[in-house]
A and B are shown apart, each in its own frame.
Chain A
Amino acid sequence: MASMDLMAPPGANTGLALAEPVPVRPSRVKARIGRVIAGILGVLLLIFILGPLVWMGIAAFAKQWKYPSMLPQSWTLSFWSQVFSSQGLLPALGLSVRFAVLATLASCVICLPAAYAMGRMRFPGRKVILIGLFATNAFPKMGLFVSIATLFYWMNLMNTQLGVVIVQALGTVVTMTWIPAAAFASVPPSLIEAARDAGAGRLRVFFSITFRLALPGIMVAVVLAFLACFDEAQGTYLIGAPNYITLPTKMYALAVNAPIQSAAVFAIVLCIPSIILMLLVRKSVMGGQLAEGFQLK
């Protein structure tokens, strides 16, 4: 509901001339037909998006599932205990968390002050830096990783933890700079001036106004960055494998070799942190914090 503020701003005439209390008959009928079509397309979209996930979710509990049946013939929970007790899950989880936390922290330290500067101050080179950061996204990921690997060989960073952390942090630079910068920029100057006029000190103004109002945007960036690191597979695979296998890179092997049930269980476990964290910032993401950050100003 509130999450959709974006699509239907308060006071917006969401119905337009189409639906709502407009008394003209033909458009009523049209609106109903339109809604039926939209409903059908909506269901198709639902199957397209959720179908694979539901199918995988069922597989995680299947004991025997014979083609072409729509549901398993018999059910079991044994794959859950099997996956949890299997070797490799916990170490991989530990590595995933460690890399993601380190990379996110590093990214915060490096990017947040920069985001503040770019959001609230004017200085020569601001635009160049803002657009220059886009370089991390402008190059197709796998091509970039291969180029980085060559440098990493020379720097002795290949197959090291530091190497993985750098690659993961690199993937968060744009998110961690652009989104908080937009958030800092949208703090109304009048509020800050009012606080200054009322005698508040520089730090006080920053912490109780600027930072606080920008916090939703910063949180969105931090969560997105953490998840990007936690879920990052391709760079981690190229730089870290075979020494450092995180959960997502482990999934590469499982997807091809493991029985469908174990891979499905593993996949569901891996989804949990993403879903929890994304739900926390869902409102802000849907409210436009993400979109806002991607329009350079």
Chain B
Amino acid sequence: MTATSAPPVTSTTQRPARNARAGRWGWLPSLGMASPPAVLVLIFVGVPIVIGVLYTLGYTGGLNSVASTLAVQTYPAVGAGPTLAAYSVVFADATFRANLIVTVWVTVVTVLVVTVIAWAVALYTRLAGGWLGRFISGVAIIPLFIPIVIGAYAIRQFYGSTGFPVSLGRLMGIDVPVWTLHTQGIVVGQIWASLPFAVLLISSGLAAVPDSLIDAARDTGASLARAVWSVMLPMATVPTVIVATFTGVGVMGSFTVPYLIGPASPNMLGVALQQTYASFARPQNAQVMAVVMFAMAGLIGAAYVWANARQAKQSAVI
């Protein structure tokens, strides 16, 4: 049934060594079974990224040739050496730099706010429980049920110039700012969309903290805040890092929310990428922006892998 009713028996140790039955090469069938998704990812994620990076360095031939013929302009490498011409063109563009700043700003703010709200919701549900706790965490999960295009559209209207906060403010004689078509609106949309995943993961992390540990801390005189800080926080670090990384990467590469809620310019890189690629027909420039995104996401991804490695080490100890 649910993961809680049967304690997660991901028993690395007690898994039967049945694969050994066929002798030395007995693991080959398992590897064969496991490889199709890896091959798919290799072809449609690995290859595009490698040729994409080569493309930004001026290698416009080969797999990049068709896209290049459709481009209004490319910056090909002369001879064998790579060129950074495409990068310098893109970075010289003030709009791109503004978009980059917006992207980083929205990503950082969203990750911080989502993590804090998700922790508050999960913590209240874990400690106080009751119908109120169930209600709050139930509400926080709702966006999971709504397609992101719809959520973004609803938020666009809600915070628009005739939306609820502005109307309410008008009725009460207060000037409420319009958030739609502003960066604030993007952040609101990103938080809305990212919250369910964060609440689910952190809740499950906190559920895994044994009551006995919290009780022991309380019995020895620790305040509730102290028990949360010294017992629950360390034990839920890994889910928190997972939430932060997934949210960060997701927000950074998003298109729908900034496209529907954000301003024409400056907007997030996701929107700029789409326009540069499809509307302005400059695939190489778009690819440069994509590589910039990859580099930023690479830092985040490293944190994720580190967190998982740490968890693996922990569970090996326990």
Check A291 for interface membership: any CB of B closer than 8 A.
yes
Q: Using Cβ atoms and an 8 Å threshold, which residues of chain A touch B230? A: none
* Complex: A10 Cα to B7 Cα, angstroms: 12
- Are B255 and A141 closer than 8 Å at their CB atoms? yes
CB-contacts of A120-156 with B (<8 A)? 120-126, 129, 131-144, 146-151, 153-154
Chain A residue nearest in CB terms to B206: A7
CB-contacts of B186-219 with A (<8 A)? 192, 195, 197, 200-201, 203-207, 211, 214-215, 218
- Are B4 and A288 closer than 8 Å at their CB atoms? yes
Check B239 for interface membership: any CB of A closer than 8 A.
yes
- Are B48 and A151 closer than 8 Å at their CB atoms? yes
Chain B residue nearest in CB terms to A14: B129
- Are A189 and B128 closer than 8 Å at their CB atoms? no
Instruction: Tell me which of B38, B134, B162, B218 contacts A1 (CB under 8 A).
Output: B134
Instruction: Tell me which of B135, B164, B254 contacts A55 (CB under 8 A).
Output: B164
Number of interface residues of A (CB under 8 A): 126
* Complex: A138 Cα to B18 Cα, angstroms: 33
B135-159 vs A: 1/0 string, CB under 8 Å?
1111111111111111111111111
- Are B41 and A117 closer than 8 Å at their CB atoms? no
- Are B200 and A68 closer than 8 Å at their CB atoms? no
- Are B301 and A138 closer than 8 Å at their CB atoms? yes
- Are A278 and B15 closer than 8 Å at their CB atoms? no
CB-contacts of B31-88 with A (<8 A)? 31, 33-38, 40-42, 44-49, 51-52, 55, 63-67, 70
* Complex: A288 Cα to B45 Cα, angstroms: 29
Chain B contact residues (Cβ within 8 angstroms of A): what range? 35 or more
Instruction: Tell me which of A50, A134, A135, A193 contacts B46 (CB under 8 A).
Output: A135
Check A21 for interface membership: any CB of B closer than 8 A.
no
* Complex: A4 Cα to B152 Cα, angstroms: 28
Give the shortest distance, in Å, between A11 (CB) and chain B (any CB). 8
Chain A residue nearest in CB terms to B137: A7
Q: Using Cβ atoms and an 8 Å threshold, which residues of chain B touch A14? A: 126-130, 133
Asked, given contacts A35-B128, A42-B132, whether A154 binds B66 with beta carbons under 8 Å apart, the answer is yes
- Are B156 and A255 closer than 8 Å at their CB atoms? yes
- Are A45 and B246 closer than 8 Å at their CB atoms? no
- Are A122 and B214 closer than 8 Å at their CB atoms? no
- Are A16 and B10 closer than 8 Å at their CB atoms? no
Instruction: Specify the main secondary structure of chain B where it touches its partner.
Output: helix
- Are A150 and B170 closer than 8 Å at their CB atoms? no
* Most interface-central of A1, A233, A241 (chain B CB within 10 A): A233
* Complex: A275 Cα to B141 Cα, angstroms: 12
- Are B242 and A123 closer than 8 Å at their CB atoms? no
Q: Using Cβ atoms and an 8 Å threshold, which residues of chain B touch A169? A: 40
- Are B2 and A38 closer than 8 Å at their CB atoms? no
* Complex: A189 Cα to B16 Cα, angstroms: 7
Q: Using Cβ atoms and an 8 Å threshold, which residues of chain A touch B301? A: 134, 138
Instruction: Tell me which of A7, A118, A185 contacts B129 (CB under 8 A).
Output: A7
28 contacts between A and B (CB under 8 A): A4-B137, A4-B138, A14-B133, A16-B215, A42-B132, A48-B192, A51-B158, A52-B154, A52-B155, A55-B163, A111-B36, A111-B37, A114-B35, A121-B15, A121-B18, A123-B27, A123-B34, A134-B301, A139-B297, A140-B253, A140-B297, A141-B253, A143-B293, A186-B10, A233-B256, A248-B149, A285-B144, A287-B5
